[in-house]
Chain A
């Protein structure tokens, strides 16, 4: 229905100052996390580093995913997502901190990656052949360069988006539209590299050409869920009133459903080829994930990470229901966390998953720090990209 209000001025909701209780809780979580990680290092260093690595990667993916979501909106000139884009941009505020977590990670390389051990390199011909790529110096340098490039794009593009709030100048949108394809090309290359380097090289004898795509499927899966949850939260505080309606949530829900299927498709494609060909060096990765305490986790990834959101989000009404979306969103965030755990931990503990205060504490700490960055971003900037030329059309978003 053509609406005559479409040119009316939209009221700027301004920035969002999180309640003190949330800020306090996040600070407590961050402190608890630091304590848990320090305590873990003192009692069981291997477990502490394993949980540090998986949370480093999980929140790196979440921050970068926020940038990816925003970039595809600019690239495609999407209208529907205009009031949601700033929410995903908020996640990118954590990205510079990934440099810190990566540098901390470098202190644990020796305990995590067997290719850092000169004795292993000397005795194993396969690892020796890979050592021109898998060596500590190159590993650290290329990952830092990759982070710098990704942060540069984020700084440019999110910077454009924020600058547009004040001037409403359409040139910022055009500038981001030019940057978006370059960012996505770099993103594909560098995120694949990061996942291969930081996760896949935990088991350097094994390789998968789909590993980067598998991690990307998880990245988008979790960032859609996180965007949905933060949107619902901001809407419940009244900040997005009149800006976000059921149709925006419906579209996010469709995205979540689609990338649940995409995840299953990629995960199964990677698994099936190795299972079918049955070549020892290729099946090693799945062997200890299918024959030990990891088997229930593997089944959870199929039945839970895929099955639950798929059937939960199939009905139209579920995608328009705040309560359903909230529960499915939380489930998806946890499911992807379990997936990252499933990728990282088996190389440390082939007999089964480890989960107690070290893992829980470290994760809570990362969540606290991530939350503090997001809260700070939301307190400093408008919760909606008020200068976006497509916003006026999008707040009336309607479809059947």
Chain B
């Protein structure tokens, strides 16, 4: 994770700029295959095929949504069952205490509520949001620039054998070789 580390101007990574999404996707495949530990892409809009080029796996969020939905539905039903048939049985409109059709709307709503909130929460958690540490950002990346950042590991790699070592000059040359129009170092305390 890139973040301020005192006043020391430490290297966060190397950024390479590309002009078109096609160039970015092509370069990204090589970056992926180079096996750096941390790298990311920045684009002004969603680019089709980038996830695959980056080697990203499917998000686990759908499973969280599903489990939260089941939980919400079950809790919603049980709450109504317990209150109207167990804890305080009341005869309403001459219907049985456990009148399940009457419980369905609330069960449905709680399924949606739990699933929706859990999805939003999981999305924030997996993205590491809200994030107040990354402040500055190159405005070009919200307009017409596409970039790959290869990050330098903040701490010693947990599995040094599995990843390629980050060497500043080597990474810069690598990005240039992949066709980056502009290559620059990125520092922690003031991004870009």
Q: Is A400 an interface residue (CB 8 A)?
A: yes
**CB distance B21 to A2 under 8 Å?**
yes
Interface flags, A241-284, vs B, CB<8A=1, else 0: 00000000000000000000000000010011001101000000
**CB distance B101 to A1 under 8 Å?**
no
A-B contact count (CB 8 A): 32
A350 to chain B, nearest CB (A): 22
Task: State in angstroms the CA–CA spacing of A154 and B22 once bound together.
Answer: 43
**CB distance A398 to B48 under 8 Å?**
yes
Closest to B53 in A: A1
CB < 8 Å: which of B22, B66, B101 contacts A272?
B101
Closest to A316 in B: B62
B32 to chain A, nearest CB (A): 15
A1-B47 CB under 8 A given contacts A271-B101, A272-B104, A276-B101: yes
Please give, as numbers and ranges, the residues of chain A lying within 8 Å of B101 by CB-CB distance: 268, 271-272, 275-276
Which positions 81-112 of chain B face chain A at CB distance < 8 Å? 93-95, 101-102, 104-105
Please give, as numbers and ranges, the residues of chain A lying within 8 Å of B102 by CB-CB distance: 272, 276
Please give, as numbers and ranges, the residues of chain B lying within 8 Å of A314 by CB-CB distance: 66
Interface size, A (range): 10 to 19
Q: Is B121 an interface residue (CB 8 A)?
A: no
CB < 8 Å: which of A1, A275, A400 contacts B21?
A1
Please give, as numbers and ranges, the residues of chain A lying within 8 Å of B47 by CB-CB distance: 1
**CB distance A1 to B62 under 8 Å?**
no
Closest to B63 in A: A315
**CB distance B48 to A399 under 8 Å?**
yes
**CB distance A1 to B104 under 8 Å?**
no
A1-B66 CB under 8 A given contacts A278-B93, A400-B51: no
**CB distance B58 to A398 under 8 Å?**
no
Task: State in angstroms the CA–CA spacing of A391 and B153 once bound together.
Answer: 47
Task: State in angstroms the CA–CA spacing of A1 and B45 once bound together.
Answer: 12
B185 to chain A, nearest CB (A): 29
B34 to chain A, nearest CB (A): 21
A141 to chain B, nearest CB (A): 40
Please give, as numbers and ranges, the residues of chain B lying within 8 Å of A400 by CB-CB distance: 46, 48, 51
Task: State in angstroms the CA–CA spacing of A315 and B46 once bound together.
Answer: 23
Task: State in angstroms the CA–CA spacing of A272 and B101 once bound together.
Answer: 6
Please give, as numbers and ranges, the residues of chain B lying within 8 Å of A271 by CB-CB distance: 101
Interface flags, B32-51, vs A, CB<8A=1, else 0: 00000000000000111101
Please give, as numbers and ranges, the residues of chain A lying within 8 Å of B51 by CB-CB distance: 400
A268-B104 CB under 8 A given contacts A1-B49, A400-B48: yes
Task: State in angstroms the CA–CA spacing of A272 and B105 once bound together.
Answer: 10
List, sorted by A's number, 12 A–B pairs whose CB atoms are closer than 8 Å.
Answer: A1-B48, A1-B49, A2-B21, A268-B104, A272-B101, A272-B102, A272-B104, A276-B102, A278-B93, A314-B66, A398-B49, A399-B48
What is the interface of chain A, defined by CB distance below 8 A to chain B?
1-2, 268, 271-272, 275-276, 278, 314-316, 398-400
